């Protein structure tokens, strides 16, 4: 077998990747804390410990920076989804995804879902890498939703889109923030409560 193109990155490339990851870490945290509009490039630069101008050597604009952060987040979600045991029930897989998202949210690393009418939303939809990941995740979730409706663990009369959008929306549910602020529940409790109300509702006897 012949060695083809080198798989290993050069030291320069590794260092660049490391720096960009550090930037995205800061962006992720700031997006979760204050959202896109209130996050400033000065803040990001200060948080990473570099000059603002250096940021623009890595990312063309604030929008692209946020898009890259969101893309990395979707990639984490995809990794989690693909790593779930194949033999688990589809409903349990869906719950596992929401559980992961809410946990990330409580940990302060879940960027705020861009408002439907925000200008950020348009920038995201014009960023192909983001769209690709979102499509992949939507396809995977849609598959599980169909399976769960077929085996009657999810309501078959509910339109699939409603279930899909609800799952996405609950990943940024402000209810989790309110409960965390209250201080009466542990993060584990909050996750369980959100999962329960999302899937079983509030009218059950449970």
Binding stretches for DNA (CB under 7 A): 12, 16, 19, 39-42, 49-54, 56-58, 60-63
Nearer to DNA, 37 or 151 (CB): 37
Instruction: Identify the CA nearest to 112 among candidates 37, 59, 23.
Output: 37
Residue of 55, 91, 102, 134 that binds a second copy (CB under 8 A): 91
Give the angle subtended at the CA of 170 by the CAs of 166 and 173, to the nearest 5°.
Answer: 140
# chain residues binding a second copy, by CB under 8 A: 49
Nearer to a second copy, 132 or 161 (CB): 161
Q: How far is the CB of 21 from DNA (least distance, A)?
A: 12
Q: Would you give the distance in Å from CA 57 to the centre of its chain? A: 25
Instruction: Identify the CA nearest to 149 among candidates 160, 138, 133, 139.
Output: 160
Q: How far is the CB of 8 from DNA (least distance, A)?
A: 17
In whole angstroms, give the CA distance from residue 171 to residue 174.
9
184 part of the interface to a second copy, by CB under 8 A: yes
Give the length of the chain: 206
In whole angstroms, give the CA distance from residue 50 to residue 54.
7
118 part of the interface to a second copy, by CB under 8 A: yes
165 part of the interface to a second copy, by CB under 8 A: yes
193 binds, among DNA, a second copy, none (CB under 5 to 8 A by kind): a second copy
Q: Would you give the distance in Å from CA 28 to the centre of its chain? A: 10
100 part of the interface to a second copy, by CB under 8 A: no
In whole angstroms, give the CA distance from residue 97 to residue 74.
11
Nearer to DNA, 40 or 128 (CB): 40
Two structure tokens written together for 88: 């688990």
196 binds, among DNA, a second copy, none (CB under 5 to 8 A by kind): a second copy
The DSSP symbol for 11 reads H
Stretch that binds a second copy, among 10-18, 67-75, 126-134, 195-203 (CB under 8 A): 195-203
In whole angstroms, give the CA distance from residue 114 to residue 74.
14
Nearer to DNA, 15 or 186 (CB): 15
Q: How far is the CB of 19 from DNA (least distance, A)?
A: 5
């Amino acid at each position: 077998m012949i060695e083809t193109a080198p798989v290993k990155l050069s030291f320069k490339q590794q260092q660049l990747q490391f720096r960009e990851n550090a930037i995205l870490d800061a962006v992720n945290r700031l997006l979760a804390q204050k959202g896109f509009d209130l996050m400033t490039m000065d803040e990001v630069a200060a948080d990473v410990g570099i000059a603002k101008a250096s940021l623009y050597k890595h990312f063309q604009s604030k929008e692209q920076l946020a898009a890259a952060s969101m893309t990395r987040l979707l990639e984490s979600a995809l990794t989690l989804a693909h790593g779930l045991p194949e033999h688990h029930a589809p409903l349990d897989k869906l719950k596992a995804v929401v559980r992961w998202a809410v946990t990330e949210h409580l940990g302060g690393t879940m960027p705020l879902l861009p408002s439907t009418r925000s200008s950020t939303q348009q920038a995201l939809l014009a960023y192909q890498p983001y769209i690709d990941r979102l499509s992949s995740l939507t396809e995977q979730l849609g598959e599980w939703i169909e399976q769960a409706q077929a085996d009657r663990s999810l309501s078959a009369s509910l339109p699939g889109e409603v279930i899909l959008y609800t799952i996405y929306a609950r990943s940024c549910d402000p209810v989790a923030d309110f409960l965390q602020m209250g201080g009466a529940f542990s993060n584990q409790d909050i996750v369980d409560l959100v999962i329960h109300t999302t899937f079983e509702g509030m009218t059950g006897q449970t």
